[in-house]
Structure 1
Amino acid sequence: MVKVVNEDAKSGGYRAHQLQTSNDLDFSIITVVYNGEKYIENTIQSVMSQKKKKVEHIIIDGGSTDGTVAILRKYSDKVAYWISEKDKGIYDGMNKGIRLAHGKYVGILNSDDYYEHENVLNKVFGILEDASTRCVFAHVRFIDPQTKKTVRVYNSKSNPEKLFRWGFMPAHPTFFAHRDDYLKYGLYKIDYKIAADYELLIRFILKFKLPYKRLDEVIIVMRTGGASTGGLKSTIHLNKEIIRACRDNGIYTNFLMLSLKYFRKVAELLPAATGRHNRNSQ
């Protein structure tokens, strides 16, 4: 491997120094980051720790002004490809990463998230290799970034096509799909600010009926915070976009129907606070 030596470089990774890239890859893991120096190294190390080896990690940085790029340079011999440039938001970054992907399957790992254990990709691979399955999702554990204690467990239901209209979706960070399906059925719609992931999952699972399977365990750990947890204003905007996503894909919903999901969240928070996980909540 050749390391990046140009400190002014805005891109790097071992793919940047190879004329050819192997197409014999099982996974492309896409991470989008902006000013994420606090946790991005942990995210990179989480991918590196996976026992599944035919994996490339592609990192799309939105032009960070903190120490993020320095960390990406540090891992240029471990990360397949990274680039730092201004973009049109997180979903634009995800689309860039998918277009660069060479793996058979694509997963999204947020810049402050990490895998629950070292066999996550092996387990997902075993499911996706079944010819009857086009996508996989699982559960997420939320932790307090300071105490690292679990504050919530989001358990993805096994019948999401019946729940989209009620504001429930499979946990997007756990979602893996065939790269070919992204190219065939479309990427994330960048005119959504918060809920492009919701729209894409509706489109893949309900509109185009891609066969899916649920891995009934936690595979991603998320630190609390983020674009979809920004208070009342963010919640209102999120629900507006969910209504639009449903409408665009032929589903009826409204604010009242979506509001009922917040009672379910209380059921998730209470077991986490007492150290017990409700396996039936979503």
Structure 2
Amino acid sequence: MKVSILTVVYNGAATIRHSIESVLGQDYPDIEYIIVDGNSKDGTQDIVRSYGDKIARFLSEPDAGIYDAMNKGIQLATGDVIGILNADDFYAYPSVVSEVAEALASSNADASYGDLEYIDANDATVVRRKWVSGAYKVGAFLNGWMPPHPTFFVKKEVYNTHGRFRLDLGSAADYELMLRFVHRENIKLAYLPKVLVKMRAGGVSNSTLKNRIAANQNDRLAWKINNLKPRFYTLWLKPLRKIIQFI
């Protein structure tokens, strides 16, 4: 089983090396690493190129945002499974990809996911939040559930069959994609009950009240465009679930 790992980046010189090293340090033998850069101007391109052919594909050109870049990477990927690691995130330990591949193979699942830790932006040893996903139950999206997208590994055939990221939903594009795959199309999931990815604290969708309101509106639109109907409390429970993640 070949696994493609995709990192998208724009002016990420401060953190991209850590992300790259966490991928190159994986013990799984068949990884294709793809980096899509939005034409960075801060030295990111030089850092990526310094790794030479350890990076299977490197594309640097202007894009229409992070999800456009992700779609480009998905199109380039030749692996059976695709994982997306953000430019300021890193894998928690060297056998993450091996364990994901084993979980997918043994369960015949279409996708897998795990848990995630939010760490301090300046000190990776300080954990700010821990996102424990829990095993998926049918209908969980109705109760505000979603898996952490950086831990979401998906077979490429799922993208080929059910589509890629929409570009009209802002920061809710990853939520809509998982809603579509899991809740609407009922793909089979495998859950790894451990922290797979560490993410530096932050995030556009939650940084201000204005952004949170916009994110809620886009979450509602995600249901509508999939011809799905949430319960009256679904999209209020989604942000409230984050409260219990703080340590």
2:34 equivalent in structure 1: 58
Question: In the alignment, does 2:133 pair up with 1:152?
Answer: no
Structure 1 residue 177, shift from structure 2 partner: 0.9
Give the one of 198, 201, 204 matched to 1:224. Answer: 201
2:93 equivalent in structure 1: 117
1:201 equivalent in structure 2: 178
Query: For residues 177 and 242 of structure 2, what CA distance do their matches in structure 1 show?
Result: 23
Aligned length: 246
Asked whether the equivalents of residues 32 and 90 of structure 1 are also in contact (C-alpha less than 8 Å), the reply is yes
Change in Cα spacing, 1:102 to 1:91, as seen in structure 2 (3 Å) is same
TM, length-normalised to structure 1: 0.83
Query: For residues 128 and 84 of structure 2, what CA distance do their matches in structure 1 show?
Result: 22
1:45 alignment partner AA = E
Question: In the alignment, does 2:12 pair up with 1:36?
Answer: yes
CA RMSD between the two structures: 1.7
1:71-92 per-residue CA deviation (whole Å, 9 max, x = no partner) reads 1111122111111111011111
Query: For residues 205 and 254 of structure 1, what CA distance do their matches in structure 2 show?
Result: 17
Greater Cα offset, 170-179 or 248-257: 248-257
TM, length-normalised to structure 2: 0.94
1:97-143 per-residue CA deviation (whole Å, 9 max, x = no partner) reads 01000111000000000000000001000011136311101100110
More helix by share: 2
Asked whether the equivalents of residues 165 and 246 of structure 1 are also in contact (C-alpha less than 8 Å), the reply is no
Structure 1 residue 167, shift from structure 2 partner: 3.2
Question: In the alignment, does 2:211 pair up with 1:267?
Answer: no
Question: In the alignment, does 2:170 pair up with 1:190?
Answer: no
Q: Per chain length, whose mean CA-contact separation is higher, i.e. which structure has more relative contact order (CA < 8 Å, sep 6+)?
A: 2
Q: How does 1:237-276 map to 2 (within 5 A)?
A: 237-253=214-230, 257-269=234-246, 272=247
Change in Cα spacing, 1:160 to 1:222, as seen in structure 2 (3 Å) is farther
Q: Secondary structure at the match of 1:151?
A: strand
Stretches of structure 1 lacking an aligned partner (at least 5 in a row): 1-24, 273-282
1:46-103 per-residue CA deviation (whole Å, 9 max, x = no partner) reads 0000000210110000111111111111112211111111101111101100100011
Larger Rg: 1
Q: Secondary structure at the match of 2:106?
A: coil
Greater Cα offset, 128-137 or 171-180: 128-137
Question: In the alignment, does 2:206 pair up with 1:234?
Answer: no
Q: Secondary structure at the match of 1:117?
A: coil
1:5 equivalent in structure 2: none
Query: For residues 181 and 241 of structure 2, what CA distance do their matches in structure 1 show?
Result: 25
Asked whether the equivalents of residues 243 and 254 of structure 1 are also in contact (C-alpha less than 8 Å), the reply is no
Structure 1 residue 160, shift from structure 2 partner: 5.5
1:140 equivalent in structure 2: 116
Structure 1 residue 161, shift from structure 2 partner: 4.3
Q: Secondary structure at the match of 1:30?
A: strand
Structure 1 residue 144, shift from structure 2 partner: 0.5
Greater Cα offset, 68-77 or 112-121: 68-77
Asked whether the equivalents of residues 35 and 67 of structure 1 are also in contact (C-alpha less than 8 Å), the reply is yes
Asked whether the equivalents of residues 142 and 234 of structure 2 are also in contact (C-alpha less than 8 Å), the reply is yes
2:205 alignment partner AA = S
2:130 alignment partner AA = V
